[in-house]
């Protein structure tokens, strides 16, 4: 979020205030932080088509509505498809508009997306196996020549 801020007070119905406090506690936020995040997310939803926000193991993430994909995951696919909206849309079997929405969001919030991509790149099998000790590594071997 932006480093400069303004103070805006608001009155919430009692039940909403309790729900806000509960959400803040679940995330380890203050009620003020939770309300600021929810307002920011609401503004982003209003400004960007197909964008939603979800909790994940990595924290709150911008996702594409109606899918399980975060915007950063779509941008990772974009890298593999020469940053072509139509190529990513074809790969996902989505309308171009949904993929364009991810591109638009990523362009507006590049630091957020780059940080998520960097976090993803930092995870290797060793790091994964610390979090998931039951994980097994397997390596696909190329077929022998002439087969």
Can you give the pLDDT at residue 140? Answer: 81
- Please determine, for residue 2, whether its predicted confidence score (pLDDT) is greater than 90: no
**pLDDT band for position 129 (cuts 50, 70, 90):** confident
Taking residue 27's Cβ as centre, other Cβ atoms within 10 Å add up to 14
Taking residue 46's Cβ as centre, other Cβ atoms within 10 Å add up to 9
Can you give the pLDDT at residue 91? Answer: 97
Domain annotation covers residue 72:
yes
Rounded distance between C-alpha atoms, residue 31 and residue 71, angstroms: 27
Burial code (b: 16+ CB inside 10 Å, e: under 16) for 47-61 equals ebebbbbeeeeeeeb
- Please determine, for residue 126, whether its predicted confidence score (pLDDT) is greater than 70: yes
Domain annotation covers residue 111:
yes
Can you give the pLDDT at residue 135? Answer: 80
With helix as H, strand as E and coil as C, how does 58-92 read?
A: CEEEEEECCCCCEHHHHHHHHHHCCCCHHHHHHHH
Total count of domains within the chain: 1
Domain annotation covers residue 98:
yes
Contact 63, 105 (CB under 8 A): no
Domain annotation covers residue 83:
yes
pLDDT digits (tens, 9 = 90+) for 55-106: 987 888 999 999 999 999 999 999 999 999 999 999 999 999 999 999 999 9
Domain annotation covers residue 53:
no
Least confident piece of the model among 45-49, 80-84, 96-100, 130-134:
130-134
Q: Identify the domain containing residue 79 by its residue range.
A: 67-121
- Please determine, for residue 1, whether its predicted confidence score (pLDDT) is greater than 60: no
- Please determine, for residue 127, whether its predicted confidence score (pLDDT) is greater than 80: no
Domain annotation covers residue 97:
yes
- Select from 68, 76, 90, 78 the least CA-distant residue to 119: 76
- Please determine, for residue 146, whether its predicted confidence score (pLDDT) is greater than 70: no
Can you give the pLDDT at residue 133? Answer: 84
Domain annotation covers residue 77:
yes
Distance between terminal CA atoms of the chain? 55
Domain annotation covers residue 134:
no
């Amino acid at each position: 979020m932006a480093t400069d801020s303004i103070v805006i007070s608001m009155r919430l119905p009692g039940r909403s205030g309790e729900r806000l406090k509960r959400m803040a506690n679940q995330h380890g936020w203050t009620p003020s932080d939770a309300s600021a995040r929810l307002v920011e997310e609401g503004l982003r939803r209003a400004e960007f088509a197909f964008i939603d926000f979800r909790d994940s193991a990595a924290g709150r993430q911008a996702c594409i509505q109606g899918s399980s994909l975060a915007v950063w995951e779509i941008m990772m696919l974009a890298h593999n498809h020469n940053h072509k909206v139509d190529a990513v849309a074809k790969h996902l079997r989505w309308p171009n508009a949904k993929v364009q929405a991810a591109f638009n969001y990523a362009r507006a919030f590049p630091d957020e997306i780059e940080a998520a991509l960097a976090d993803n790149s930092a995870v290797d099998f060793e790091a994964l196996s610390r979090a998931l000790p039951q994980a097994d590594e397997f390596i696909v071997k190329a077929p022998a020549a002439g087969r």
